[in-house]
Amino acid sequence: MSNAPSSTSSSDAPEIVQRGAFALTMRRLLRDPATLISFAFIVLLSLFAIFAPLTEIWTGHSAIEQYRETGMTPMGLPVGPNGSFLMGTDQLGRDVFVRLAYGARISLAVGVLASLAAATIGVTIGMCAGFFGGWVDTVLGRIMDLVMSVPFLLCALALVSVFGPSLSLSVSVIVFFSWTTIGRVIRAESASIAKREFIQASRSMGASNLSILIRDVLPNLAVPIIVYTTMMIPSSIVFEATLSFLGLGIVPPTPSWGGMLADAGANSIYLVAWWLVVFPGFALLFTTLAFNILGDGLRDALDPKGRKIVRRRKSRKNRTTTRKETAQ
Amino acid sequence: MPLIEARNVTIRIPTEDGGIHAANSVSFSVEEGELFGIAGESGSGKSVLMQAIAGLLPGAEIEGEVLFNGRDMLTMSEAERRALRGAQIGMIFQDPLSSLHPFYTIGSQIAEMIHAHEKVDKAEARRRVVEMLERVGIAEADKRYDAYPHEFSGGMRQRVMIAMALILRPPLIIADEPTTALDVTVQAQIVELLDEMRRSFGTTVIMITHDLGLLSSVADHVMVMYAGTRLEIGATEALFAMPAHPYTLGLLRSSPAADSNGSPLIPIAGKPPSLLARPRGCVFAPRCAQASDLCHTTPPPLRRYSDATEALCHFTASLPEDEPVTEQTTPPAASRTSARYVVEASGLSLTYRSKKGFGRAVENHVLKGVDLTVRKGETLGLVGESGCGKSTLARVLAGLAVPTDGEVKIQGEPIASLTAARWREMRRRVQMVFQDPFGSLNPRRRVGAIISDPMRIHNIGTAASRKARVQELMETVGLNPEHFNRFPSEFSGGQRQRIGIARALALEPALIILDEPVSALDVSIQAQILNLLQALQRDLGLTYLFISHDLSVVRHICDRIAVMDKGQIVESSTSEQLFRAPAHPFTRELLGATHHPPALTGVDTRHLISETPFMTQEAQA
Amino acid sequence: MIAFLTRRLSFGVLVLFTLSAFVFLLFYVAPGDPARMIAGEKATAQQLAQIRENLGLDRPILVQYASFLGDALRGDLGFSYRNQQPVVDLIVRRIPVTVSLVLGGVVVWLAIGIPIGIMSARFAGGLRDRLGQVFILIGLSFPTFVLGMLALYTLYFLPRKNGFVLFPPGGYAPLLDDPLKWAWHLTLPWLTLALVTAAIYARLTRGQLLSVLGEDYIRTARAKGLSERCVVYKHGMRATLTALVTQLGADIAVMLGGVIVIEQVYGLQGVGSMAVQAVRNQDRPIIIGVVLLGGLFIVISNILVDLLYAALDPRTR
């Protein structure tokens, strides 16, 4: 972390036992069962997704094959959960359980990838806008405003209608329309960090902008970056599911949760086959819920509101008017 | 019967880390019509005490009794307490900007107070508000009634707060640091107004402040608090002439006083204790110069003196026998006379242009033709009120802001003409120490990395040599060199300021610009830092530019003083000269507005009449 | 104020211009021949050329774009490829459904979200706060279409199976014909649309109000002896309102997405479902029209929100 070697420090006997930031965070997290359960759920879900092929082997059902004999009633309706089909079959006689496992892959992959990409873009642009201010901020800020004033689902529809639905298009659309959320937060945070005196101090010592950005600004953004990236995962998952639900996301035979729900919604088949909406629906709900709880928990643990507020008792405002805040 | 009397008030505030013992069996009583001062450093519990009594701290656990006109405020219902607030007890807070609602007009905010307690029609309320605004010195009160808080200056806002507190003519006003956020000259006006108002309305005032000088000039009685404990209480004159408690004595000896200049201050060693745990003995024992073994093990008794002064101590405060010989820092004569200038600035101007609403450019002249020189080895003080341009001037001298006009030479070299490489090189020669010890250190980096930053940026030395240098520097500024691996949050305010100084020293700069280096610190810590700065200058032959709003601090440490007002240096002379015969009206105003605690007489006229054990709830538990 | 308004207006124009250029270019560079889409697979080369000439598709792109912009400014967005009707007429016919949905949704989510947020903040840390937080988390996590499907299943299908009708299966009844029927048909869509957004508002209200209640001026209000109700609802909410209004501006784009999904789930023939249909049919003029309409809607709402903000915060005046 720093250039100070720590070889000798271990033998030091500090007279005050003080918990490090990491230990404190862990302590708070461990006292928060909701967050722990959510985390466990996410781990299990990831395992479920990674080992999706095992569900095929175990049940003996492929994800895309239609079991018209075993998986459908003589009337041509899907069968409910039973010993062979744990979660029933869909309107084409496919195994919902196996499809759910493969759908988890799509949801998690899209959620995590899109969030990481969006966070990278958002953090970079937000940091530059907030730190440099001036015309850089004006231009980047306007771009963010522009992206945010676009009816994104409609634009996504337009894009899909031209290029045809695909996974990569879904991810790009999600990234393009969601980096502004984190970008806005990081921009505000960076702007307030840029005004702190330790930035002045680095500058007065002759540090370059790049060095200040990387050593002074970025580490102080760790908390919002972690929290907002986590919180972006569920919205990306929902975004992808929505696209698939509207038939604009993952191309049909490939299972995805949104697509499964779309199939259930078509012709209102789910009204007679509840398992078609309950299993993928709740899988989606619990996944987003778990990520949201995890994000909340991380925020509370990393940045507790109860932390002591630095009282600026005798400090005087010596900032001579630099830039009058323009009326927004 | 006293107007308000607190008996054994104990306050505990639960937090994540455990309960904070904010007040510990505090008693006091205030007679009608007097001005009662509560003094203490930050964290002493003085504000918490009064807010909890007024019922403004819902989370606090409070015990004891507080009799207001004979009724216990702590046992009455919330509705009854609410009826008291405003109508019977007016309050004035520290920061008038954040204490006024930004979205309501000031008039409506004051009128709301009337409507909350009386059945009055709108026109009548407005009439009373306008009348009160006029009384507190707001011109065109009828028009200003409909103005919003952001349209007022700091001093005017505090007048509005005072008008609000007084509008229902309450018998008691609690003023919590009413002048701390204001400029010195405005402070004086506000104190004067408060004093005038309390005399004409016969209002009793409890004033909470860290400013001993202020209290010595206005208060009738003073209570001194430390770590939630009332250490001393007594009549103002007696208490300031010769305190009975070693802490009060220490506070007074660490404040730069009116007549002492240059002589080292006597700081109180150490730092304020954590309020999470209470010690077995005296709370002040770890920092007390007079402490004995007894103080660390046994809670101190309450000692009552003949002049009604009370102190919580095993002993009576006394000045040390062997008063340290004042080591007058006579700088080497050579540097005084030598014409070697570190800084020569001439005709510096700086103008900001900003666009306002309708597209017309507004010019803001921050610096208007400033000439300034700093000689090698001296300390030049730069004094002025907020917004006068002194920090901007510092930024220009440090090369962080480019002047619109004028020239700065550092060691004879004009900085405007430097190439990029030379400019970077110049950064080594001017270093800065900042005001806010919490804001000026990157919270995410270790102290070792922070102090070695200048060496890293200028590629000096190897990792090992840098580490050695860091430890050497930490030792120089009085920090434990073993702590290089810690984060800034693990240090107290004073220690952080030492880290900032160590960082500034790392490259042995020709000039150190100190921008309000002690104004965020408590008096006792402030003295430690000032002494450190003087010692460093003596040992290392440093040159300082010392920026401050506080004349007494500047006078204490500086050889020469430049007074700045509205972007110009209005007067510049040696410290003695400036204080003896201020030439410019602004300097005179500034000097006149500064309160100093009176000099200690050291003469102990009182005698002990009783000593009773003083048990606190925590000590019994 | 005027300068501020001009700035916002010109930004709105910029948004619409960018948006129009984006969709236009998108369809220009897109694979697929519009003429063939109109004429169908069996059309002859001559018919195709005729259609191209009629539509001006043989002109250079910039000319086409300019004439498109000119027409659009006059309120002419071209004709649907599918049934040759004017796009504007098609959209206008469907606007009442979407507007009913949106306006009702806004009312419902504000009516749910803000009180829950206030309750949560007032009793921060207590049981009511915990309940509020649970609502917020579940609301935030519920994908709109899952909620819609579950609502239809439990509130329409299950009662009907047991012989009584609680809610209609979807569809729309015009307001002017029968207001009660209109509201009855829209109740489930409103609730579905509102729940997610209500959670956002509850969270925002809670967070803002909590931080406002820690402000010095709230302490002043208490020191005046005002009742706790007055402190929270007058002084606290007054300062929270500006943040809510700002959020309202940011949410309009998000909400529009919600509308598309809701219309789909409840079979409402609004603008959103028209867009989805148009995508399936590759009916480009309609897509362009709907995207521009959505953009216009967002721009206008944002300007209204800005004006509201300026009216609320005296410091920006």
The three-state secondary structure class of B292 is: coil
- For residue C243, the enclosing domain spans 89-316
Contacts of C204 in chain A (CB under 8 A): none
CB B64 within 8 A of CB B269: no
% of chain A residues with pLDDT over 90: 5
What is the C-alpha to C-alpha distance for residues B178 and B172, in angstroms, rounded to an integer? Answer: 15
Lowest mean pLDDT among A236-245, B351-360, B605-614: B351-360
Asked if A238 and C23 come within 8 Å (Cβ–Cβ), the reply is no
What is the C-alpha to C-alpha distance for residues A216 and B473, in angstroms, rounded to an integer? Answer: 22
Give residue B108's pLDDT.
92
Asked if C223 and B101 come within 8 Å (Cβ–Cβ), the reply is no
Chain C touched by A31 (CB under 8 Å): no
* Shared-domain flag, residues C126 and C41: no
* Shared-domain flag, residues C126 and C270: yes
From C87, C113, C132, give the residue that closes a domain. C87
* Shared-domain flag, residues C295 and C195: yes
Chain B touched by A327 (CB under 8 Å): yes
Helix A222-245 vs helix C144-151: angle between axes, to the nearest 10 degrees? Answer: 50
Rounded average pLDDT over C166-182: 75
Of A150, A242, A265, the CB nearest to C19: A150
Subunits with 3+ C-beta pairs closer than 8 A to A: B, C
What is the C-alpha to C-alpha distance for residues A47 and A41, in angstroms, rounded to an integer? Answer: 10
* Shared-domain flag, residues C166 and C294: yes
Give residue B294's pLDDT.
85
* Shared-domain flag, residues C170 and C55: no
* Shared-domain flag, residues C235 and C306: yes
Give residue B171's pLDDT.
92
* Shared-domain flag, residues C81 and C98: no
Asked if C225 and B84 come within 8 Å (Cβ–Cβ), the reply is yes
* Shared-domain flag, residues C24 and C160: no
Asked if B457 and A215 come within 8 Å (Cβ–Cβ), the reply is no
Asked if C253 and A152 come within 8 Å (Cβ–Cβ), the reply is yes
From C87, C108, C131, give the residue that closes a domain. C87
Of A202, A206, A320, the CB nearest to B424: A206
Distance (Å) from the C-alpha of residue A79 to the closest C-alpha of chain B?
54
Of A148, A248, A261, the CB nearest to C145: A261
Q: Has residue C104 got a pLDDT over 80?
A: yes
Angle, vertex CA A71, rays to CA A65 and CA A73, nearest 5: 140
Interface with A, mutate which of C27, C82, C146 (most A CBs under 10 A): C146
Domains of chain B: 4-226 (3.40.50.300), 240-257+278-319+600-621 (no CATH), 378-405+417-593 (3.40.50.300)
Chain B touched by C308 (CB under 8 Å): no
Asked if A152 and C257 come within 8 Å (Cβ–Cβ), the reply is yes
What is the C-alpha to C-alpha distance for residues C216 and B96, in angstroms, rounded to an integer? Answer: 9
Give every CB contact of residue C177 below 8 A, 6+ residues apart in sequence.
none
From C33, C68, C87, give the residue that closes a domain. C87
Which chain C residue has its CA at the smallest distance from A181's CA? C250
Distance (Å) from the C-alpha of residue B84 to the closest C-alpha of chain C?
7
Asked if C143 and A288 come within 8 Å (Cβ–Cβ), the reply is yes
Displacement of CA A227 from its chain's centroid (Å): 9
Dihedrals phi, psi of A275, to nearest 5 degrees: -65, -20
CA nearest B369: which of B341, B346, B353, B352?
B346
Give the B-side interface with C, CB within 8 Å.
51, 54-56, 82-87, 90-91, 93, 95, 98-104, 112-113, 116-117, 148, 150, 161, 164, 357-359
Interface with C, mutate which of A162, A174, A310 (most C CBs under 10 A): A162
Distance (Å) from the C-alpha of residue B112 to the closest C-alpha of chain C?
8
Rounded average pLDDT over B286-291: 84
Structural domain total, chain C: 2
Chain B touched by A14 (CB under 8 Å): yes
Which chain B residue has its CA at the smallest distance from A195's CA? B439
- pLDDT 10s digits, B125-155: 999 999 999 988 888 888 889 999 888 888 8
* Shared-domain flag, residues C222 and C253: yes
* Shared-domain flag, residues C52 and C98: no
Give residue B357's pLDDT.
47
Give residue C264's pLDDT.
83
**Banded model confidence at residue C33, pLDDT cuts 50, 70, 90:** low
Q: Has residue B40 got a pLDDT over 60?
A: yes
Asked if C279 and A261 come within 8 Å (Cβ–Cβ), the reply is no
- pLDDT 10s digits, B300-315: 888 888 888 888 888 8
* Shared-domain flag, residues C107 and C66: no
Look up the pTM and report it: 0.81
Average per-residue pLDDT in chain A?
Answer: 76
Which of A44-53, A272-281, B505-514 is predicted most confidently?
Answer: B505-514
Contacts of C253 in chain A (CB under 8 A): 148-152
Chain B touched by A207 (CB under 8 Å): yes
Rounded average pLDDT over B429-454: 86
Rounded average pLDDT over A221-239: 87
Q: Has residue A12 got a pLDDT over 50?
A: no
Q: Which residues of B456-483 are buried (b: 16+ CB within 10 A; e: fewer)?
A: bbbeeeeeeebbebbbebbebbbbeebb
Angle, vertex CA C176, rays to CA C171 and CA C179, nearest 5: 70
CATH number at residue C190: 1.10.3720.10
Contacts of A243 in chain C (CB under 8 A): none
**Banded model confidence at residue C36, pLDDT cuts 50, 70, 90:** low
* Shared-domain flag, residues C57 and C182: no
